[in-house]
Amino acid sequence: MSAFLDQALATLGVSRDALFVVPGNHDVDRTVSAKAWRDLRDAAWNNPTGLSKWLVGGKAPFGFKATWRDAVLARQQAFQDWKCSYFLGRIAVPSRMMLGERHSFTCNGIPIHLILLDSAWLAGDRSEEHTSELQSRQYLVCRL
């Protein structure tokens, strides 16, 4: 992937600093923590606000196991590892509790605020009806 992106950037005459990536459902290893994913997914619809607060570092809501968060987020570990190495120096090691990023920069004198939201964190198998979910805490990132 790195070589492909480098070639695309070179062809376009764009630096790596102008590239932003966010994980998609194809970046989720569905073989990792399948039971924790199922349990969290089933409980998520009962308390979406509690889930949102928990995912950004709060306490696990009633009915949730504290281990589920890290187990489910570990399904994207390969993507996070690649991202940290590809953008070495540009981004700090991401928090495993963050489901989005905000980048602020200026382009031709115009301030830009770019919001990247990970809608794939709860991606299930291809037959699942609920394959992505944006939580209220992610929405709050947009309002900052």
Q: What is the pLDDT of residue 58?
A: 82
Q: What is the pLDDT of residue 113?
A: 87
Rounded distance between C-alpha atoms, residue 83 and residue 72, angstroms? 18
105 within 8 A of 97, measured Cβ to Cβ: no
Q: How far from 41 is each of 34, 64, 73, CA to CA, in Å? A: 10, 10, 12
Q: What is the pLDDT of residue 140?
A: 43
Q: What secondary structure does DSSP assign to the chain, as a single string?
A: -HHHHHHHHHHHT--GGG------GGG--TTSSHHHHHHHHHHHTT-HHHHHHHHTT-PPPTT--THHHHHHHGGGHHHHHHHHHHTBTTBPPPPTT--EEEEEEEETTEEEEEEEE---TT---TT-S------HHHHHHHH-
Q: What is the pLDDT of residue 89?
A: 67
User: Which residues in the chain come in under a pLDDT of 70?
Assistant: 89-98, 125-144
